[in-house]
Amino acid sequence: MSTVVLLLFTGVGLGAIYFLVASGLSLIYGLMHVLNFAHGVFLSLGAFLGFEVASRLGATTWTGFAASLLVGALAGALFAALTERLLVQRLYERHIEQVLVTVGLGLAAVALFDGIWGTDPRFISGPAWMGRTTSVLGANVPNDRFVAILVAGLVLLGMVLFLRRTRYGMIIRAGVENRAMVTALGIDVRTAFTLVFTIGGIAAGLGGVLASHYFGYVSPLLGQTLLIFAFIVTVIGGLGSLTGAAIASVVVALLQQFANYYLWGTGDLAVVVLLAVVLLTRPSGLMGRRA
Amino acid sequence: MSTSTPASATAYRGGARAWVGRLAPPALVLLLACLPLLDLRLPGVLPGPTYTPGTLHLLALAMVMAALALSYHLLLGVAGLLSFGHALYFGLGAYLLGIVMSELELGLVPSVLVVLVAGVVISLLLGAVSLRVTGIPFAMVTLAFAQAGSVLVRRDPGRVTGGEEGLRLPTEQVPDALVGVADTRNLYWLALAALVLAFLLVSWVQGSRAGHVAAAVRENELRVRVLGMRPFLVKLAIFVAASVIAVGMGMVHLLLNSGAVPHIVSAELTISLLLMVVIGGVGSRWGAVAGAVLYVLLNQRLTVLAQATWVHDLPAPLRIPLSEPMFVLGTLFVLVVLFLPGGLAGTVARVRRWRGTAGPGGSTEGADRLEDVDDEQQVATAGGARR
């Protein structure tokens, strides 16, 4: 029983990190039809800068942790906004070339991080409480899982409120539904493009800091590794659907954890099998629109 | 090239150009075949004289990658399929050949046949699943399959793949002429033959009925359907052809490098193929070859540059980017996508047109074709938006 509870919390915690990456990917794809291969490096940059700030302010203090989250989010947002403005927007409406540009940026940025921070993982430490465990129904759950779940929950809430209650949120939702109509009404969707990239960058940056605590290290390839699972999550959840991304992140992460424990470490393969099954039965994903 | 040239002279010159165009490829192959016997030096491009094993190995690697890029061209340039999992088949060829030779203790030739059959079966299965979706979802699904393969190779089930360490070529099953540094020239000739074979195969597939239908599907899938043809089967045929060529090149790569490492199954390898094809010019066979050769040589030169002493003495903001080959290549790729649509092949064609002598088949097809890759997906999303 305690194992199941532990796996549940670990899985949902991992799902929270997947969601932070996948939500941005899904929003960007939904509005712009761009598969953002640079999303992983937004995450890595957030993780590295968060690590730098935390180690300067004291890695084991709560101020250090809060500052690392803030800096991670800002770094992700800035990097994402610049990417959109300087690279993606120049190739307006040329989706495949937009994908290629993000692929190139991803390669170049990973190499640059290699050069700055080295290829070896940097092991990190957080506030003492995060390293300890809390007993839930007999299972000793590491506390960083709760922080990841809390932050991802807040991000989901924030995104939903933003999309439902604000003017720009409505433009983005309308753009996902029918971009041609939004443009025809005289609204400049390009601001919305920069905005979804920035929001995706914030979530990815936060995800980077949390992922580095979850895995206990930060390395230049951290983002790209998570990115592949985030791609799978967005396809399973349905491209462009925020709810789909949230559900699929948790499903994928739980499946991965349970298969790793009970099926001899086959978690990654189980996820790919799930992807194949979903594509065979519902090619547009769980919450995707029927094509 | 003056504008007052009489029309007949231009026509004559065009005819001569066509002859040169027809004779140039065999002449080039002949020259390449003679390289191991010559003492040519290209300082700055090649690490040493052309008869040395190091240089021959680098050139052979460039040719294997060029053949692999050609198979990727079949997917992206002909059928308009953006795959992120092509490395899976390359790795499959290399690893499976090694495993069949060491575990089943078969000789080289029977093993090659076994691996080719396995390649056809696996690519048929995975292709049939992946091709249920098109456009970007297709890219993601192929990526996921390749990732599963990569995980499998790194996990080392049954201790057959060697995990992170990689697989060593079981030399006892391989003819002596293909083993050892002294025999690099034989491997070089093997790689050259593989490249020529791949080029002929790709040309044949592209010129076949299936190739034409695949190109038509890339342009407008709906119209092909209306004409009563089955786009799925055609795309699957192209997918299998490209995958089997990649399996073959994986086998050559295993022999060339006397082993296989997990990197050759990774998504990074597929992305470098994408880089080669896009830098060379999407839709052009020569572009794919040129892009691959440029990529391999540049990668090697940049790695040497990264270890140069003068780079180490530079201040950090200059030293770090210069000592990371992938940073330079990634940046180059972004610049090509932004400013040179059509890549090398497209640029050559454009320069020719400026000079008023558009050669046979010279056009900026690459740039237009990238748009076409996307149109298919546009149709799909437009259909979806209506619900």
Domains annotated on chain B, with CATH:
34-375 (1.10.3470)
Residues of B in contact with A182 (CB under 8 A): none
Give pLDDT, residue B375: 42
Average pLDDT over residues A63-72: 88
* B370 pLDDT tier (thresholds 50, 70, 90): low
Average pLDDT, chain B: 81
B56 in Cβ contact with B185 (< 8 Å) = yes
Interface of A with B in 78-107 (CB under 8 A): 87, 90-91, 94-97, 99-101, 103-107
Contact A94 B330 (CB under 8 A): no
Check CB contact of A239 with chain B, cutoff 8 Å: yes
Indicate the SS3 state at residue A220: coil
With 70 as the cut, is the pLDDT of residue B376 above it? Answer: no
**Closest Cβ opposite residue B387 in set A115, A279, A290:** A290
3-state secondary structure chain B: CCCCCCHHHHHHHHHHHHHHHHHHHHHHHHHHHHHHHCCCCCCCCCCCCCCCHHHHHHHHHHHHHHHHHHHHHHHHHHCCCCCCCCHHHHHHHHHHHHHHHHHCCCCHHHHHHHHHHHHHHHHHHHHHHHCCCCHHHHHHHHHHHHHHHHHHHHHCHHHCCCHHHCEECCHHHCCHHHCCHHHHHHHHHHHHHHHHHHHHHHHHHHHCHHHHHHHHHHHCHHHHHHCCCCHHHHHHHHHHHHHHHHHHHHHHHHHHHCEECHHHHCHHHHHHHHHHHHHHCCCCHHHHHHHHHHHHHHHHHHHHHHCCHHHHCCCHHHHHHHCCHHHHHHHHHHHHHHHCCCHHHHHHHHHHHHCCCCCCCCCCHHHHHHHHHHHHHHHHHHHHHHC
pLDDT tens readout for residues A1-32 = 788 888 888 889 999 999 999 999 988 888 88
Mention every residue, 6+ apart, whose C-beta is less than 8 A from residue B343: B278, B279, B280, B281, B282, B284, B287, B291, B336, B366
Alpha helices by DSSP H, chain A? 2-32, 39-57, 62-83, 95-117, 128-131, 143-165, 167-177, 179-184, 189-215, 222-237, 242-262, 267-281
CATH of segment(s) A2-281:
1.10.3470
Using only C-alpha atoms, chain B has a radius of gyration, in whole angstroms, of 22
Check CB contact of B117 with chain A, cutoff 8 Å: no
Give pLDDT, residue A70: 92
- Chain A nearest C-alpha distance from B241 (Å): 22
With 80 as the cut, is the pLDDT of residue B180 above it? Answer: no
Closest by Cα among B112, B101, B92 to B153: B92
Give pLDDT, residue B15: 67
A234 in Cβ contact with A226 (< 8 Å) = no
**Residue B231 identity (one-letter amino acid):** P
Contact B151 A268 (CB under 8 A): yes
Q: How many degrees, rounded to 5, is the angle at CA B251 between CA B73 and CA B92?
A: 75
Six-digit token string for A159? 């995104």
Interface of A with B in 244-263 (CB under 8 A): none
Indicate the SS3 state at residue A156: helix
Indicate the SS3 state at residue A286: coil
Closest by Cα among B115, B88, B356 to B243: B88
**Closest Cβ opposite residue A280 in set B129, B275, B380:** B129
Contact A178 B381 (CB under 8 A): no
Where along chain A do its domains lie?
2-281
pLDDT tens readout for residues A104-117 = 999 899 989 988 88
Average pLDDT over residues B297-302: 87
- Chain A nearest C-alpha distance from B317 (Å): 10
Contact A107 B329 (CB under 8 A): yes
Residues of B in contact with A111 (CB under 8 A): 324-327, 330
pLDDT tens readout for residues B161-178 = 887 788 888 877 778 777
Check CB contact of A118 with chain B, cutoff 8 Å: no
pLDDT tens readout for residues B41-50 = 777 778 778 7
Average pLDDT over residues A253-261: 89
The span from the CA of B224 to the CA of B227, in Å, is 5
> Any idea which residue has 């995980």 for tokens?
B151
The span from the CA of B332 to the CA of B313, in Å, is 24
Indicate the SS3 state at residue A264: coil
**Residue B122 identity (one-letter amino acid):** I
> Any idea which residue has 């953006």 for tokens?
B82
Q: Count CB neighbours of B176 within 10 A.
A: 9
- Chain B nearest C-alpha distance from A135 (Å): 33
Contact B141 A235 (CB under 8 A): yes
pLDDT tens readout for residues B254-291 = 999 888 888 899 888 998 899 899 888 888 888 999 99
Contact A103 B274 (CB under 8 A): yes
Average pLDDT over residues A255-282: 83
